[in-house]
């Protein structure tokens, strides 16, 4: 799964890299947790627009917004058939932007878990494949999103059996285009990212609490 991630570049740097319009409020983040706002980019097939969306997808048919807490991730396998995600998969695909994500590895004592941060070797931000929905049953519409996961690559497999789908730049427009309906091609994009372009390192256990939000969380430590 992908349950915590980071995005620390300023918005102008992100706009330069991903070429999107943005009119929302944004702050760099070191410990993004479910139900919080994340930077997502969508497209109408011509222009890219960035927005801050609630992390944890609320299907349009849901009676209670709390279902979003269980929908922070969507497994890629059979995604086009799952009631919670199939409608968004057809028309409401987006990029969820990050520059690293955290996972936890259980140590030999069977109790302690060591957090790791996964990043690109060049340390650039990257785009995770996401879906979004608009829920209108509350007093105010909620636009929420989920991050799609796939099987692990060689960098992630010894820590967790899932990883977020990270898209290559040449797939961005296809993935976001609501008019693109080739299901098989879309599914072909939902694969592990090349391991030789990524690396991981151990970080402080302070990241365990979403209340902790500071640059210190990004610093490497000696793994146990």
Task: Give the active site residues.
Answer: 2, 103
In this structure, the strands spanning 48-55 and 142-150 are parallel
Coil, helix or strand at residue 147: strand
At residue 73, φ and ψ (nearest 5 deg) are -130, 155
CA 187 to chain centre: 17
Q: Are 97 and 127 in contact (CB under 8 A)?
A: yes
Contact partners, residue 43, CB within 8 Å, separation at least 6: 49, 173, 176, 177, 178
Q: How far apart are CA 92 and CA 65, in angstroms?
A: 18
Tokens at residue 2, please?
């992908």
In this structure, the strands spanning 100-106 and 93-98 are unpaired
Q: How far apart are CA 155 and CA 196, in angstroms?
A: 8
């Amino acid at each position: 799964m992908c349950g915590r991630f980071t995005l620390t570049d300023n918005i102008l740097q992100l706009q330069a890299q991903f070429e999107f319009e943005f009119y929302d409020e944004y702050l760099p983040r070191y410990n993004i947790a479910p139900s919080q706002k994340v930077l997502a980019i969508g497209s109408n097939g011509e222009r890219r627009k960035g927005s801050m969306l609630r992390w944890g997808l609320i299907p349009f048919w849901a009676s209670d917004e709390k279902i979003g807490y269980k929908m922070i991730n969507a497994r890629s396998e059979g995604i086009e058939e799952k009631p919670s995600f199939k409608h968004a998969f057809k028309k409401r695909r987006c990029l969820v932007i990050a520059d690293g994500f955290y996972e936890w590895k259980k140590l030999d004592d069977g109790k302690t878990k060591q957090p790791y941060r996964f990043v690109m070797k060049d340390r650039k931000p990257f785009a995770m494949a996401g879906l979004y929905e608009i829920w209108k049953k509350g007093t105010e519409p909620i636009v929420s999103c989920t991050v799609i996961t796939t099987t692990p690559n060689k960098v992630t497999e010894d820590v967790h059996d899932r990883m977020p789908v990270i898209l290559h730049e040449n797939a961005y427009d296809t993935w976001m285009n609501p008019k693109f309906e080739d299901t098989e091609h879309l599914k072909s994009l939902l694969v592990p990212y090349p391991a030789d372009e990524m690396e991981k390192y151990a970080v402080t256990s302070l990241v365990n609490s979403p209340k902790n939000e500071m640059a210190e969380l990004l610093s490497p430590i000696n793994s146990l």
